[in-house]
Chains A and B, each alone.
Chain A
Amino acid sequence: MIPVEHYVTLSSLLFIIGGVGFLVRRNVLVTLMSIEVMLNAVNLALVAFNRARPWHAIGQTYAGGSHTGQVFAFFIIAAEAAEVAVGLAIVLALYRLRRTVRSDEADLLKN
């Protein structure tokens, strides 16, 4: 079995790649993808930790391992799908009005 450290290392690399991508890229679509990479890093970490250490959470009474991390990952996938739907609608609205999907060209609001 692959030790959990490998998964966690991969997950932290993904998270850093996503975070750097979010901070340096100016195309909104790429920025959105960077956020998705970060969230997948979260999912990978949750699932790997769950598999490595199937502890019981407080209040669980049934027999067998805990699946908190796995279930959490499903919720993240579902909630992020909803969030991205709203996000793409906002990007579309901006594109219709300004003909751009670059965040540095969206500069009407300033001090």
Chain B
Amino acid sequence: MMTDIALALSPLAVVGIGGLLLMLAEALFPRGGQLALGAVTILLAGAAFGAVVWMVGPESLDDVATLAPWLIVDRFTIFFDILLCAGGALAALLAGGYMPEHRIERGEFYALILFSTFGAMMLAAAGDALTLFLGLETMSIGAYSMTAFRRASPRSAEGALKYFLLGSFAAAVLLYGFALLYGATGHTDLAGIGAAAKTGAARNPLLVLGAALVLVGIVFKVSAVPFHAWTPDAYEGAPTPGTTFMAVAVKAGAFAMLLRVLLVAFGSDVWTSWASGWPPMVATLAALTMTVANLIAGRQESVKRMLAYSSIAHAGYALVGVTAMMRDPVKGGGSVLFYLVAYTVSTAGAFGALILCGSRGREAVSYEDLSGLGRRHPAAALAFSVFLVSLAGIPPTAGFFAKWLVFRSAIDEGLYALAILAFVNSVIGAYYYLRVLVYMYMREPAAGAPVAVPMRSGYVSTALVVSALLVLGLGLAPTSYVDMAVQAAKLGAG
């Protein structure tokens, strides 16, 4: 029935149509605060529709299969719809406080967040190379524009340029990979590629080259080392709410694409075996990403740039979970999905706290800017501490439990070396997160040095409170969320 299809597509429709309406509303209400509220409302509505579809059960909806292979509405898709809408809503809340404070208030930013979230949701639903490409472009074009949003800042333009050039290059590589796969199998839909790749054709050079190019294109978007060069520059150049959006929603969308492609197109035994498939490649990427990003993050003087490298390192931990999908896609995939949820709330909170610590004319950037904050502004320092502790993976936070799940699924698969490396890395990572705490609570600003004064904003405070509650909630009572993640990861079984 049509109503079933309408319900299945409702999260996507709410966000897409909401974005168009918000652009109209911008002409009527030029005040940014209202637009921020509007964007948050639309995204929360998208998440609510996603929750309804989850409870009804997308598999029980009639005729949803007729949308395949273009859009696949299953629990995996709905899980990402909710996650992406929540991440986008947090970024929009932060923008509602940050943009007026730093006088770059223009309504387009909120429309960009909505359209980019729409693209990421489409990416998570895509079951065909065509819709995957369109979702990827919709998501990326919005993210490029957000990076370039501070038009008076050469850093913003430079970060956007690097992001744009490497992003387009990655898209071209991805597309050429899909073109080769089309030549080798006659299919652009992932399921068709998967079926054709299963029947002993794994030694077809066209197929292998195509698969390699597709994976390289995707890990560019995931920003795994050695394809990460754009990430710190784009994250540093972008206005901080834009950075938050990229670190949260764009990364989750890229992981959705990676998981769907690996599980559906390359999920057969030939491709998932250690000897002939993708696991060694993904394991190498995971090891490189964690190690290199953590070592560089420790040397940063800018907290924003440190958080950028930290987001690369977290992609590395999630890739450990992706490697663990090789024999048990449900358990490994479930750990990756839960990791993404924990990473989303912790990272959005950390960037939000960094936003809160600065005010007009003086953004908090370096470690010194934060010194003595624990005494001057205890609330801001406490919020920052919660998110850093979660990012470092210390109990009782979401970050700890997520890391534990990922490492355990790696150990269950017999990936001992990778699990040990991941553990060593999370210890190294704790160094630079706790360094922020040391500055906040144990250092005083140098005499006469300009100190960052925290801003006052209901939007930012709300975002921080919500993220902090989620970080603690996911850490203390994770069971039901882990169940959801595991249910969502069951797409490969179908």
> Which A residues fall within an 8 A CB radius of B?
4, 8, 11, 15, 18-19, 22, 28, 31-32, 35, 38-39, 41-42, 45-46, 49-50, 53, 55, 57-59, 66, 68-69, 71-72, 75-76, 79, 82-83, 86-87, 89-91, 93-94, 97-98, 103, 106-109, 111
Contact = CB atoms under 8 A, between A and B. Distances in A.
11 contacts: A15-B176, A31-B165, A59-B189, A71-B130, A76-B175, A82-B141, A83-B137, A87-B165, A90-B144, A108-B158, A109-B233
B490 interface: no
A68 B176 CA distance: 15
A75 B130 contact: yes
B434 interface: no
A72 B178 CA distance: 11
Interface string B111-144: 0000000000000000001100110010011001
A109 B187 contact: no
Contacts of A71: 130
User: In terms of DSSP, what is the predominant structure of the interface of chain B?
Assistant: helix
Nearest to B160: A90
A94 B152 CA distance: 10
Nearest to B179: A45
Nearest to B65: A59
B376 interface: no
A107 B161 CA distance: 11
A50 B186 CA distance: 8
B105 interface: no
Contacts of B300: 111
A95 B5 CA distance: 47
A94 B405 CA distance: 44
- Most A-side CB within 10 Å, residue of B151, B175, B232, B300: B175
B183 A111 contact: no
B69 A49 contact: no
B137 A90 contact: no
User: In terms of DSSP, what is the predominant structure of the interface of chain A?
Assistant: helix
Given A86-B145, A87-B144, A45 B137 contact: no
B176 A42 contact: yes
Nearest to A76: B175
B154 interface: yes
Given A45-B182, A93-B157, 4 more contacts: A11-B179, A58-B191, A68-B188, A109-B155
Nearest to B177: A42
Given A45-B179, A75-B130, A111 B157 contact: no
A28 B162 CA distance: 10
B169 interface: yes
Given A15-B176, A35-B168, A38-B172, A90 B182 contact: no
Nearest to B302: A111
- Most A-side CB within 10 Å, residue of B182, B299, B300: B182
B304 to A, nearest CB: 11
A45 B168 contact: no
A79 B144 contact: no
- Most B-side CB within 10 Å, residue of A18, A90, A108, A111: A90
Contacts of A107: 158
A109 B69 contact: no
Contacts of B144: 86-87, 90
B157 A97 contact: yes
A26 B391 CA distance: 37
A71 B69 CA distance: 15
B214 to A, nearest CB: 12
Contacts of A32: 165, 168
Interface string B202-245: 00000000000000000000000000000011001100000000
B322 to A, nearest CB: 26
Contacts of B191: 58
Given A57-B192, A90-B164, A93-B151, A109 B158 contact: yes
Contacts of B175: 39, 42, 76
Contacts of B173: 19, 38
Contacts of B51: none
B176 A38 contact: yes
B399 interface: no
Contact of A111 (B148, B155, B187, B299): B299
